[in-house]
């Protein structure tokens, strides 16, 4: 059940709600009321999915599973912790032998766009990227690795036990907790989070992710327009 916090911050779980289904694909929509970004969980069952295409940029991150991604018909092997940038007009499909789970964000929000938009001219697709191949960048007592840096930024970050200072951003942001457990703070409100929690943060909302576990908390983040995951604004500074 969705948890609503201050300012419109929303927390859900991976397979929450009734999915939209098309062939082997089930789509769980997790963001309501956003102006710029979506968060969807795409669950691919065994077999080959229908072809998908957007009029806006989309970034994907493989949460679990492995299979083959077809970008404009060209196959690419994908495994967990793979990031993918799908530019407008690029056609993609995924084939797998066992369920494969993907986090998806489209920017700007295309509202009620169909799963497969009309074909349009576009540049050659970008190949998938592996988390292990991206350089870790430290920021205070945490780290992040940028996966996609285009019109939208996708990153993976690690948070040690404890709570960092409250802050806010000048963009909408979505998060998906990959490992660990903690507490999501939005202003004075809070709720527990764990692996599989999906979070929407409105633009300008003061917030903080607290790690309440004994080990590192790892999360996937995505925001639009693009920028540095290290940039945070102090609510006590004018």
Task: Note whether residue 126 is domain-resident.
Answer: no
Task: Note whether residue 167 is domain-resident.
Answer: yes
Number of neighbours of residue 163 by Cβ within 10 angstroms: 14
To the question of pTM greater than 0.75 for the whole model, the response is yes
Task: Note whether residue 154 is domain-resident.
Answer: yes
pLDDT at 96 (0 to 100) = 98
Specify whether 21 is located in the same domain as 107: yes
pLDDT digits (tens, 9 = 90+) for 35-68: 899 999 999 999 999 999 999 999 999 999 999 9
Specify whether 106 is located in the same domain as 136: no
Specify whether 70 is located in the same domain as 142: no
Instruction: Please choose, from the candidates 202, 186, 206, 207, the residue with its C-alpha nearest in 3D space to the C-alpha of residue 5.
Output: 186
Task: Note whether residue 5 is domain-resident.
Answer: no
> Residue 103: which domain range?
17-111
Specify whether 58 is located in the same domain as 107: yes
Whether 33 shows a pLDDT value over 80: the answer reads no
| Tokens describing residue 87 | 């530019």
pLDDT digits (tens, 9 = 90+) for 73-125: 999 999 999 999 999 999 999 999 999 999 999 998 887 788 999 988 999 99
Q: What is the mean pLDDT of the chain?
A: 94
**Residue 120 region by backbone torsions, left for phi larger than 0, else alpha for psi between -120 and 50, else beta:** beta
The count of domains in the chain is 2
Specify whether 147 is located in the same domain as 220: yes
Residue 144 contacts residue 158 (beta carbons within 8 Å)? yes
Task: Note whether residue 22 is domain-resident.
Answer: yes
Whether 238 shows a pLDDT value over 70: the answer reads no
Task: Note whether residue 60 is domain-resident.
Answer: yes
pLDDT at 109 (0 to 100) = 87
Question: What SS3 class is residue 51?
Answer: coil
Model confidence at 164, pLDDT cuts 50, 70, 90, reads: confident
DSSP assignment of 75-131 equals EEEE-TTEEEEE-TT--EEEEESS-EEEEEEEES--SS--SBPPP---PPPPPPEEG
- The whole-number average pLDDT for the span 6-10 is 94
Task: Note whether residue 67 is domain-resident.
Answer: yes
| Tokens describing residue 129 | 């990227």
Residue 201 contacts residue 169 (beta carbons within 8 Å)? yes
pLDDT at 236 (0 to 100) = 77
pLDDT at 62 (0 to 100) = 98
pLDDT digits (tens, 9 = 90+) for 170-229: 999 999 999 999 999 999 999 999 999 999 999 999 999 999 999 999 999 999 999 999
Task: Note whether residue 65 is domain-resident.
Answer: yes
Specify whether 163 is located in the same domain as 77: no
Q: What separation, in Å, do the N-terminal and C-terminal C-alpha atoms of the chain show?
A: 36
């Amino acid at each position: 059940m969705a948890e609503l916090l201050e300012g419109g911050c929303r927390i859900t779980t991976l397979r929450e709600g009734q999915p939209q289904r098309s062939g082997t694909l089930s789509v769980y929509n997790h963001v309501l009321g956003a102006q710029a970004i979506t968060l969807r969980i795409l669950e691919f069952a065994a077999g080959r999915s229908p072809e998908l295409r957007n009029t806006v940029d989309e970034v994907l991150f493989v949460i679990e599973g492995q299979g083959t991604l077809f970008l404009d018909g060209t196959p690419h092997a994908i495994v967990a912790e793979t990031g993918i940038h799908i530019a407008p007009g690029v056609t993609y499909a995924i084939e797998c032998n066992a369920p494969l789970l993907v986090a998806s964000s489209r920017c700007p929000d295309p509202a009620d766009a169909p799963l497969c938009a009309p074909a349009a001219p576009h540049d050659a697709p970008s190949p998938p990227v592996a988390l292990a191949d991206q350089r870790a960048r430290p920021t205070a007592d945490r780290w992040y690795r940028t996966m996609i840096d285009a019109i939208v930024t996708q990153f993976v970050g690690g948070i040690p036990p404890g709570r960092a200072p409250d802050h806010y951003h000048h963009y909408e942001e979505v998060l998906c907790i990959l490992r660990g457990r903690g507490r999501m703070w939005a202003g004075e409100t809070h709720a527990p989070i764990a692996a599989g929690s999906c979070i929407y943060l409105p633009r300008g909302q003061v917030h903080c992710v607290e790690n309440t576990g004994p080990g590192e908390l790892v999360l996937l983040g995505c925001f639009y327009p693009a920028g540095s995951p290290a940039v945070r604004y102090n609510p006590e500074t004018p």
